[in-house]
Amino acid sequence: MHKLLKASIAGAAGIALLAGGAGTFAAWQDSAQISATSIQSGKLDIASVANGVWKSGATTIDPATYLVVPGDVLTFTQDLTVEATGTNLAATLSQSGLTTSGTLDNDVTSVLDVTAAGTNVTKNTDGTFKVTPGAGSSKLTVKVTVSFPKGVTGADNQAGQNETLNLSALKFTLAQTIS
Amino acid sequence: MSGRRHVRSSSPVPRHRRRRQLSLVKLIKPGTIGAAVVAFAALLGLGGTAALWQDSATIAPSSLQSGSIGVQQVGFDGAGVEYSAGVSQKTTSLVLSNPGSSAADIGASASITGSTSLASRVSIRIWSPAGADCAVSAPAGEAGTWAALKGIPATLAAKSSVTLCLQTTLNDRSTDVGASYSAQLTVVASRGSWRSSTTATVTQSLRAITPVSVGTCTGSGSGAYSARFDWPASPLAEPAKSNLRYNVTAGGKTYTPAGEPSGSWTQAQFAGDTARAQIGSGFFEVKIYERVTAANGAVSNGTQVASGWIEIGTSNEEPWARCASGPAPSSVTAKALTCRTPWFQGLQLTIDDPAGYHDQWRYDIVIGSQTLTSGLSHYSQTRTLSSAELRAIGSGTFDVKVVRGGLTYFTGKIRVSFGIGSCA
């Protein structure tokens, strides 16, 4: 008896549920479509432009064959391009610094100077550069100046002859920063 | 499925799971929780950094090599010379080189030890010869001195050399006879503070063989036609006088001293610093030559080192002599300037003598058949440095000649008549 009652109740509930489902399919229905636009990422890039150029005064020289003498002032110039796009992009440009070695290093002075053209790359007081987004690319000019002082002629002096000055490779790193 | 999990999660926790949860709570202490938070934050940070953009570019200026300079000279020792009466110049080649790998500025200077007086009279020419032939004459242009060398190239290219000719000339051999000096040539290559130098030394001297002037002449001897003249010859430094040869010429005839092929010398002596010859009276042009002995022993005249004039005569049996160095008068002109009265007929001579020896020469004035030798007093004759004037030579037309040393320098006529004089 008790089991029969339970079965009857369950059967009644099932019939009721089936009756309710038939009512939902008959109700109203509508839909709306939204279209989100695509998203484009920015760019952060640094690259060298051609090869650097060594000059003595206004004359281009080949460092493989040029022999330095007292009184020479040689410059090495290399351009870099910095491309930074991105609405909220901020970046810092730093360089590894110039180191020199070799026996000729005792007789010459070597100075590194990096200058930037445009408004998107500005020099910080610590020597690094602040890079802000901008259209197109910005030019960065790297200039290494090697000076061999002329000195004063006195007694026989052959210091610095047949010697070598090694200049380290310069690495420029452009890194995004979080503002 | 989720509904079932939610149902299951909301059901009472089984006993065994409740025990495990309680044990984890006991294990997690406050410090451990902080460390976990830091580690989690660190992990979050690393993940963010890795996501940031970064790019790099490398440039390599490469290396530089220095050069070198140097300087070498070859040949300066060839400038050593013993100047003499016949040698006043020495030419040698001088090669300068820069063995360095860079071009160098070149300079040269000389320092003198010894007779700076002798060195100061030496002129120096340095030039780059065509075909490295220094036998070709030096180019025109201002010569340098030991104190200021000229002609040294301003630069020498790397690993290059230049052949130069160096010519030294002793311009005046009249003084500092027997003196010598050493000249140290210093050639400097420089480039900025680099400096390299080389030095070499030569000795130049002046051999004492010069008579450079006729000297003095004195009348001597006992004969009416003999006199003596002396002139500076070689000093004791050249006692053998082997390098001297004296020729005395008069009227184109050459006289040679004793010991030489025949001549009209009556005596020739070499003693001390003088040479002496005793010759007859007359008017002589003296030329003194250096004796040159060839490798085969042949002797010849070298450079003429002195010349002058000697006039030897006698007066009242006493010989007299006049002499002077320098060129002979080239001409004598004469013209009658004044023919006013028979007793005051004038003839004035003008002597063209650039050397200024007028007062030392005597001219014979031949009027007609008479020779009015200068110095004769029975004619009124006056002589100045450049003129002579005759007076009171009487009436008539006379041929006039001015003669000296057998040479006629002037011919003309003078006509004198009573009260009227005219000259032509």
User: Please, are residues B212 and B173 in contact by the beta-carbon 8 Å criterion?
Assistant: yes
Q: Which are the contacts of B116, defined by CB distance < 8 A and separation ≥ 6? A: B181
In a domain, A3, yes or no: no
Domain map (residue ranges) of chain B:
72-206, 216-325, 331-423
Q: Is the pLDDT of residue B4 over 50?
A: no
**Nearest CA of chain B to the CA of A176: how many Å?**
5
Q: What is the pLDDT of residues B217-249, one digit of tens each?
A: 655 554 434 445 555 554 434 445 555 555 665
In a domain, A19, yes or no: no
**Phi/psi class of residue B326: alpha, beta or left (left: φ > 0; alpha: ψ in -120 to 50)?**
left
The verdict on B66 touching A (C-beta cutoff 8 Å) is: yes
The encoded tokens of residue B47 equal 């993940």
The number of residues in chain B equals 424
Q: What dotted CATH number matches B331-423?
A: 2.60.40.10
**Nearest CA of chain A to the CA of B45: how many Å?**
12
DSSP A113-157: EEEE-SSSEEE-TTS-EEE---SSEEEEEEEEEEE-------S-B
The verdict on A156 touching B (C-beta cutoff 8 Å) is: yes
pLDDT at B320: 63
Q: CA-CA distance, B377 to B315, in Å (whole number)? A: 13
* Across B29-43, B112-126, B204-218, B274-288, least confident range: B29-43
Q: Is the pLDDT of residue A62 over 80?
A: yes
Q: Which residues of A touch B57 (CB under 8 A)?
A: 46-48, 80, 171-172, 174
| B6 or B226, which is more confident | B226
Q: How confident is the model at residue A26 (pLDDT cuts 50, 70, 90)?
A: confident
pLDDT at B111: 95
In a domain, A83, yes or no: yes
CB-nearest to A63 from B64, B101, B193 is B64
DSSP A13: H
Mean pLDDT for the stretch of residues B24-33: 48
Q: How confident is the model at residue A98 (pLDDT cuts 50, 70, 90)?
A: confident
Q: Is the pLDDT of residue B13 over 50?
A: no
Q: How confident is the model at residue B125 (pLDDT cuts 50, 70, 90)?
A: very high
pLDDT at B403: 64
Q: Is the pLDDT of residue B202 over 60?
A: yes
**Nearest CA of chain A to the CA of B196: how many Å?**
5
pLDDT at A16: 57
pLDDT at B357: 43
Residue B231's nearest CA partner among B302, B288, B311 is B288
The verdict on A45 touching B (C-beta cutoff 8 Å) is: yes
CB-nearest to B66 from A48, A69, A156 is A69
CB-nearest to A63 from B63, B100, B101 is B63
CATH number at residue A93: 2.60.40
How many domains does chain A contain in total? 1
Q: How confident is the model at residue B185 (pLDDT cuts 50, 70, 90)?
A: very high
- Report the greatest alpha carbon distance in chain B: 190
Count CB-CB contacts under 10 A for residue B249. Answer: 13
| A125 or B259, which is more confident | A125
Q: How confident is the model at residue B144 (pLDDT cuts 50, 70, 90)?
A: very high
Q: Is the pLDDT of residue B391 over 60?
A: no
Q: Which residue of A has its CA nearest to B64?
A: A165
Q: Do B55 and A146 touch (CB under 8 A)?
A: no
pLDDT at B30: 52
Q: Is the pLDDT of residue A33 over 70?
A: yes
The verdict on A172 touching B (C-beta cutoff 8 Å) is: yes
The encoded tokens of residue A141 equal 């000019």
pLDDT at B303: 64
Q: CA-CA distance, B257 to B19, in Å (whole number)? A: 154
Between positions 169 and 228 of B, the ones with CB within 8 A of A are 190-197
* β-pair partners for B126: B166
Q: CA-CA distance, A6 to A140, in Å (whole number)? A: 87
| B31 or B296, which is more confident | B296
Structural domain span for residue A90: 43-151+163-176
Q: Which residues of A touch B67 (CB under 8 A)?
A: 67-69, 161-162
Q: Which are the contacts of B98, defined by CB distance < 8 A and separation ≥ 6? A: B69, B70, B71, B72, B104, B106, B156, B157, B158, B159, B160, B161, B189
Mean pLDDT for the stretch of residues B51-57: 87
Mean pLDDT for the stretch of residues B122-133: 86
pLDDT at B262: 35
Q: Is the pLDDT of residue A144 over 60?
A: yes
Q: Which residues of A touch B100 (CB under 8 A)?
A: 161
Q: How confident is the model at residue A24 (pLDDT cuts 50, 70, 90)?
A: low
Backbone angles phi, psi at B17, to 5 degrees: -75, -35
Q: Which residue of A has its CA nearest to B103?
A: A69
Q: Which residue of A has its CA nearest to B62?
A: A167
Q: Is the pLDDT of residue B70 over 50?
A: yes
Q: What topology is assigned to B72-206 in CATH? A: Immunoglobulin-like (2.60.40)
Looking up tokens 């002449």 gives B217
Q: How confident is the model at residue B380 (pLDDT cuts 50, 70, 90)?
A: very low
pLDDT at B124: 94
Looking up tokens 């160096």 gives B166
Q: Do A164 and B64 touch (CB under 8 A)?
A: yes
pLDDT at A158: 85
Cα–Cα distances in Å, from B340 out to B335, B348, B368, B416? 14, 13, 20, 9
**Nearest CA of chain B to the CA of A76: how many Å?**
7
Exposure letters A72-110 (e unless 16+ CB within 10 A, then b): bbbbbebbbebbbbbeebebebbbeebebebebbebbeb
Q: How confident is the model at residue B384 (pLDDT cuts 50, 70, 90)?
A: very low
Backbone angles phi, psi at B144, to 5 degrees: -95, -175
Q: Is the pLDDT of residue B34 over 80?
A: no
User: Please, are residues B42 and B165 in contact by the beta-carbon 8 Å criterion?
Assistant: no
Q: Do B61 and A167 touch (CB under 8 A)?
A: yes
In a domain, A141, yes or no: yes
**Nearest CA of chain B to the CA of A66: how many Å?**
7
The pLDDT > 90 percentage for chain B reads 24
Q: What dotted CATH number matches B216-325?
A: 2.60.40
Mean pLDDT for the stretch of residues B82-88: 76
Q: Is the pLDDT of residue A67 over 50?
A: yes
pLDDT at B279: 59
| B120 or A20, which is more confident | B120
Cα–Cα distances in Å, from A10 out to A5, A7, A16, B66? 9, 5, 10, 105
Residue B187's nearest CA partner among B195, B178, B199 is B199
Looking up tokens 């509904």 gives B3
Q: Is the pLDDT of residue A2 over 70?
A: no
> Best-predicted range by mean pLDDT among B78-82, B83-87, B243-247, B390-394?
B78-82
The encoded tokens of residue B269 equal 């002596």
In a domain, A167, yes or no: yes
B72-206 with B331-423: one CATH topology? yes
Q: Which residue of B has its CA nearest to A178?
A: B52
* Across A162-166, B91-95, B202-206, B224-228, least confident range: B224-228
pLDDT at B192: 86
Cα–Cα distances in Å, from B20 out to B12, B24, B25, B30, B33? 15, 6, 9, 19, 19
Q: What is the pLDDT of residues B243-259, one digit of tens each?
A: 555 566 554 555 554 44
> Best-predicted range by mean pLDDT among A115-124, B210-219, B239-248, B262-271?
A115-124
* Across B99-108, B247-256, B286-295, B334-343, least confident range: B334-343
Between positions 84 and 143 of A, the ones with CB within 8 A of B are 89, 91, 102, 104, 107, 142
Q: Do B53 and A169 touch (CB under 8 A)?
A: no
Q: CA-CA distance, B179 to B237, in Å (whole number)? A: 11
The verdict on A158 touching B (C-beta cutoff 8 Å) is: yes
Beta pairing, strands B104-114 & B122-127: unpaired
Q: Is the pLDDT of residue A57 over 70?
A: yes
Mean pLDDT for the stretch of residues A84-105: 87
Q: Is the pLDDT of residue B263 over 60?
A: no
Q: Which residues of A touch B199 (CB under 8 A)?
A: none
User: Please, are residues B233 and B274 in contact by the beta-carbon 8 Å criterion?
Assistant: yes
* β-pair partners for A104: none
CB-nearest to A74 from B64, B68, B69 is B64
Query: What integer best gives the mean pLDDT of chain A?
Result: 83
How many interchain CB pairs under 8 A, A with B?
153
**Nearest CA of chain B to the CA of A1: how many Å?**
31
Q: Which residues of A touch B68 (CB under 8 A)?
A: 67, 158, 161-162
Q: Which residue of B has its CA nearest to A77?
A: B61
pLDDT at B312: 65
Mean pLDDT for the stretch of residues B287-300: 65
Q: Is the pLDDT of residue B54 over 50?
A: yes
The encoded tokens of residue A104 equal 């000729």
Helix (H, G, I), strand (E, B) or coil at A35: coil
The encoded tokens of residue B328 equal 């002979």
